[in-house]
Structure 1
Amino acid sequence: MSFDYDLFVIGGGSGGVRAGRVAAETGAKVALAEEYRMGGTCVIRGCVPKKLMVFASGYSERMDEAAKYGWDVTGGEFDWQKFWPHMRSELDRLEGIYRTNLGRPGTTIYDQRATIVDPHTVQLADGSRHTTKHILVATGGTPFKPAETPGIELAGTSNDVFLMEELPKSILIVGGGYIACEFACIFNGLGVATTQYYRGAQVLRGFDEEARGHIAELMQGRGVNLHVGTDVMAMEQRDGGIWVKASNGDQAVYDKVIYATGRTPNTQGLGLEEAGVKLGRGGKILVDDYSQTNIPSIFAVGDVTDRVNLTPVAIREGAAFVETVFKGNPTKVDHSNVASAIFTQPEYGAVGLTEEQAAEQEEIEVYCAAFRPMQNAFIGKEERVLFKLIVSKANRKILGAHIIADGAGELIQMVGVAVKMGATKEDFDATVAVHPTMSEEVVLMKTPTRTA
């Protein structure tokens, strides 16, 4: 049977673009459809603009520290009108690069929504249909808001943050995951009166318990008005803002309310179920180790599969898909020991297991140190960093590493290499420290803090 395309990719995020570009480079005839902007969540409304905001928000703390170190610093208010257009220009530039790289090997780009008609047919929003040998779904995730909350239409989501033309004077962040915590720290650092509600007992569910508590304490210490065990009961438009009634009895008016209560796979209305594709909890696409669905011609990569929802993982999955389908080299992606960073202030970097996960698996030793680094101690700043290693008693391998400190995202990348290679505690011990640094603690912890 003859097809219009060898591959039709639905979704122009990091995973879909990588798969489309690399497949086209093999000589395959490829098309890609994206209904919003090329680059997906990461480039347009996630990692990249968020990190730029993290950079901007960190200078308030640095200016205060600089003054204590002897610099004559005259601070002022953050100018959103100067930052925001610059950020938007940078996103435009990156989107252009994505388009250029995708189009260079000959990929056809459709700037419209695509849905699946059957295992070999895709329909575009303009009504045109195209046949294809393979379909790759890479539509990512979409923010979730609880529809049952009265006044929920008044609240925005993380997507809306990057479209704000004015910086609010007060904001309520609802949620306790990494996105919520990151935005709470960002707005707080930009000088916005920031409140955060999370209905659970502690923020960052699923991460290491000790690290979660440490982060929450530091966020509060830097000025975030964090309330756990608290949820929004109702919202109304009042007094030029959004009136919020909380489950703890608090009532207040905020300029903005942003929900960061999780993301769900973006599969609604794509025609997947009609084509026979099996979906899992929350609408995620069920795939095997090679990103193939139960329909042989349909594959999926990235957050839409809800495996490890990180941009570099989606990119690897997209590349592995091309190796498997277009290069005759069946390739699995190893989802174990993937390092990640939460860009709170300070940052939290993690790789491997939490203490709780490891203790359920086997007997462990825990090495942990919380201390004031030299830079903080010199100016009387009480904030402490945290370094933690979780070690198998049986084979001495590092099962998990957790770092909370400025630059933890950079540090955990290096530690992640060692953990991925199967380094033992003795390998760490045998490594000579780099002095004076705070990171030397990772090779200087000799005595277990506890065993489990």
Structure 2
Amino acid sequence: MTAFDYDLFVIGGGSGGVRAGRIAAEHGAKVALAEEYRMGGTCVIRGCVPKKLMVYASEYPDQVRDAAAYGWEATLGAFDWGRFHGKLEAELDRLEAAYRRNLDRAGVKVFDTRATLADPHSVKLADGSTKTAKHILIATGGWPFVPDFPGSDLVITSNEIFKLDALPKSILIVGGGYIACEFSCILNGLGVDVTQFYRGPQILRGFDDEARDHIADAMRARGVTLHTDTVLRKLERGPDGIKATSGDGSIAQYDAVMYATGRHPNTAGLGLEEIGVTLRENGAIAVDEYSQTNIPSVFAVGDVTDRVNLTPVAIREGHAFADTVFGGTPRKAEHDLIPSAVFTQPEMGTVGLTEEAARAQGPIEVYVAAFRPMQPMFAGHAEKVLMKLVVCADTRRVLGVHLVGDHAGEMIQMVGIAVRMGATKEDFDRTVAVHPTMAEELVTMKTPVRTA
């Protein structure tokens, strides 16, 4: 029998890789993990966590304004990026240390270095040493994509936005996905003059059309200069900033330009192709429902597989892998009916099918409520929330729920349980409303606004 150094070697210290390594070790496996940057991956270091903290920071101007409307003597001074950023870095340090402690407690050996595949059972570290393992797990996540165009070297991405020494006074954000839209709202809330270009007809492609329209209108009302059907042709460094030329030839100047035009699986230079691992056209690792590649000893989880690129999904995939391979309990991570949130302002929560996707599958009923909620209405704001149910006309099952408004992410987590359980419209109707809340509209909409 061949003796391996480890039962499992994990390449990548993000949420999926760390969960897989820790659970495998708890199942009794001898585990090692290599991470070339910081433990915690995209979510903890340059994604969900720092982004959400920036969301919180950006919301305080609205809160102070509302406090004054409610009778408080409230004023707000200037935002101190340096002060906030120092606390942000301290929090990321704390979280990274917690990840390391959890791995250490589980008995996982950590190598703080780059690792690549030498063969189906061998990993080569940057110091030239080689470690062997019965199983290898790739969990290297994704990386921001910037196309090659004149001046592309002048842009920053969602990686660098957290590392700025100072906030720009103005910024152009290119892209229409959730990362671009979230940072447009964040920076707008922090006092930056924000312009956003998106080449398509509407932002947030893939989400429900009615919700997309609602968010785009609200972003513009809050001060984001949003241009759809617009492309960026070139960038040039000027004496006072970056000069941007758009597709129609118009020119404007910004202090910074951020590209958020998608992320690619982080597989380049790992040695995957050399040992025969099948990659899809975009570089994603092709895996089966148990996260196994075409090479039996090599597995992959998380964004590097480009299945559903969300941190909780990577964690589920990593845990399922460890239970399957080392825990004696074959388990698959489910990739349907996943609740998710987009932390724009206003926030969006969604689960299940969009109206457009549901309509393509059969007859549906659509229930919609758009209204001014109590708290901001009292403060004199015109912005509305959106509550939407998409229902199968035949089975009465709720196929999709789409919420736009404050705390939509919190609400959709609870609604996601009902949708996964197969709740019908009548189940929603039988549920007594909590009054006065925004969420009560989910159980009080009685008449469909349209059918299809």
Shared fold (TM-score, shorter chain, > 0.5): yes
Match of 2:46 in 1: 45
For residues 222 and 63 of structure 1, what CA distance do their matches in structure 2 show?
15
Q: CA deviation at 1:184?
A: 0.2
Give the TM-score normalised by structure 2. 0.99
**Does residue 298 of structure 1 match 2:313?**
no
Match of 1:410 in 2: 410
For residues 103 and 266 of structure 1, what CA distance do their matches in structure 2 show?
26
Match of 2:401 in 1: 401
For residues 110 and 241 of structure 1, what CA distance do their matches in structure 2 show?
41
Q: Deviations over 1:367-396 (max 9, x none)?
A: 011111111222221100000000001110
For residues 287 and 261 of structure 1, what CA distance do their matches in structure 2 show?
25
Match of 2:349 in 1: 349
For residues 38 and 76 of structure 1, what CA distance do their matches in structure 2 show?
35
Superposition pairs of residues 209-248 of structure 1, within 5 angstroms: 209-248=209-248
RMSD: 0.7
Q: CA deviation at 1:48?
A: 0.2
Superposition pairs of residues 366-405 of structure 1, within 5 angstroms: 366-405=366-405
For residues 103 and 74 of structure 1, what CA distance do their matches in structure 2 show?
47
Q: CA deviation at 1:73?
A: 1.3
Q: Deviations over 1:103-148 (max 9, x none)?
A: 112111011110001100100111111111000000000000011x
Q: Deviations over 1:169-194 (max 9, x none)?
A: 11111100000000000000000001
Which SS does the other structure have where 1:366 is aligned?
Answer: strand
For residues 249 and 67 of structure 2, what CA distance do their matches in structure 1 show?
40
Q: Tell me, which stretches of 5 or more residues in structure 1 are unaligned?
A: none
Q: 8 Å contact 2:45–2:92 — kept in the other structure?
A: yes
AA of the residue aligned to 1:288? D
Q: CA deviation at 1:305?
A: 0.5
For residues 196 and 103 of structure 1, what CA distance do their matches in structure 2 show?
44
For residues 392 and 226 of structure 2, what CA distance do their matches in structure 1 show?
35
Q: Tell me, which stretches of 5 or more residues in structure 2 are unaligned?
A: none
For residues 56 and 200 of structure 2, what CA distance do their matches in structure 1 show?
29
Q: 8 Å contact 1:365–1:390 — kept in the other structure?
A: yes
Q: CA deviation at 1:61?
A: 1.2
Match of 1:30 in 2: 31
Match of 1:249 in 2: 249
Match of 2:158 in 1: 158
Which SS does the other structure have where 1:403 is aligned?
Answer: strand
Moved over 2 A (4+): none
For residues 339 and 415 of structure 2, what CA distance do their matches in structure 1 show?
9
Q: CA deviation at 1:18?
A: 0.3
Match of 2:64 in 1: 63
AA of the residue aligned to 1:56? A
**Does residue 188 of structure 1 match 2:188?**
yes
AA of the residue aligned to 1:168? P
**Does residue 116 of structure 1 match 2:81?**
no
Q: CA deviation at 1:74?
A: 1.7
For residues 138 and 169 of structure 2, what CA distance do their matches in structure 1 show?
40
Match of 1:79 in 2: 80
Match of 2:14 in 1: 13
Which SS does the other structure have where 1:283 is aligned?
Answer: coil
For residues 283 and 60 of structure 1, what CA distance do their matches in structure 2 show?
42
For residues 100 and 75 of structure 1, what CA distance do their matches in structure 2 show?
39
Which SS does the other structure have where 1:351 is aligned?
Answer: strand
Q: Deviations over 1:307-335 (max 9, x none)?
A: 11100000000000011100121101111
**Greater Cα offset, 348-357 or 373-382:** 373-382
Match of 1:336 in 2: 336
Q: CA deviation at 1:281?
A: 2.5
For residues 313 and 225 of structure 1, what CA distance do their matches in structure 2 show?
33
Match of 1:425 in 2: 425
Which SS does the other structure have where 1:274 is aligned?
Answer: helix
AA of the residue aligned to 2:303? D
Superposition pairs of residues 192-211 of structure 1, within 5 angstroms: 192-211=192-211
Which SS does the other structure have where 1:77 is aligned?
Answer: coil
Q: 8 Å contact 2:301–2:318 — kept in the other structure?
A: yes
**Greater Cα offset, 399-408 or 327-336:** 327-336
Q: Deviations over 1:2-53 (max 9, x none)?
A: 1011000000000000000111112211000001100000000000000000
Q: Deviations over 1:144-181 (max 9, x none)?
A: 0011x100000010000111121111111110000000
For residues 235 and 226 of structure 2, what CA distance do their matches in structure 1 show?
19
Q: 8 Å contact 1:141–1:303 — kept in the other structure?
A: yes
**Greater Cα offset, 197-206 or 234-243:** 234-243
AA of the residue aligned to 1:71? W
Q: CA deviation at 1:240?
A: 2.7
Which SS does the other structure have where 2:274 is aligned?
Answer: coil
Q: 8 Å contact 1:239–1:253 — kept in the other structure?
A: no
Q: CA deviation at 1:428?
A: 0.1
For residues 80 and 231 of structure 2, what CA distance do their matches in structure 1 show?
32
For residues 224 and 316 of structure 1, what CA distance do their matches in structure 2 show?
36
AA of the residue aligned to 2:31? V
AA of the residue aligned to 1:110? F
For residues 441 and 243 of structure 1, what CA distance do their matches in structure 2 show?
47
For residues 70 and 333 of structure 2, what CA distance do their matches in structure 1 show?
47
Q: 8 Å contact 2:23–2:323 — kept in the other structure?
A: no
Match of 1:4 in 2: 5
For residues 100 and 248 of structure 1, what CA distance do their matches in structure 2 show?
54
Identity among equivalent positions (%) equals 66
Match of 1:309 in 2: 309
Q: CA deviation at 1:249?
A: 3.2
Q: CA deviation at 1:239?
A: 2.2
Q: CA deviation at 1:197?
A: 0.5
AA of the residue aligned to 2:106? P
Q: CA deviation at 1:218?
A: 0.4
Q: CA deviation at 1:77?
A: 1.4
For residues 103 and 257 of structure 1, what CA distance do their matches in structure 2 show?
40
Q: CA deviation at 1:81?
A: 1.1
Q: 8 Å contact 1:337–1:352 — kept in the other structure?
A: yes
Which SS does the other structure have where 2:383 is aligned?
Answer: coil
AA of the residue aligned to 1:62? Q
Q: Deviations over 1:188-217 (max 9, x none)?
A: 000000111101100000000111010000
Q: CA deviation at 1:248?
A: 3.3
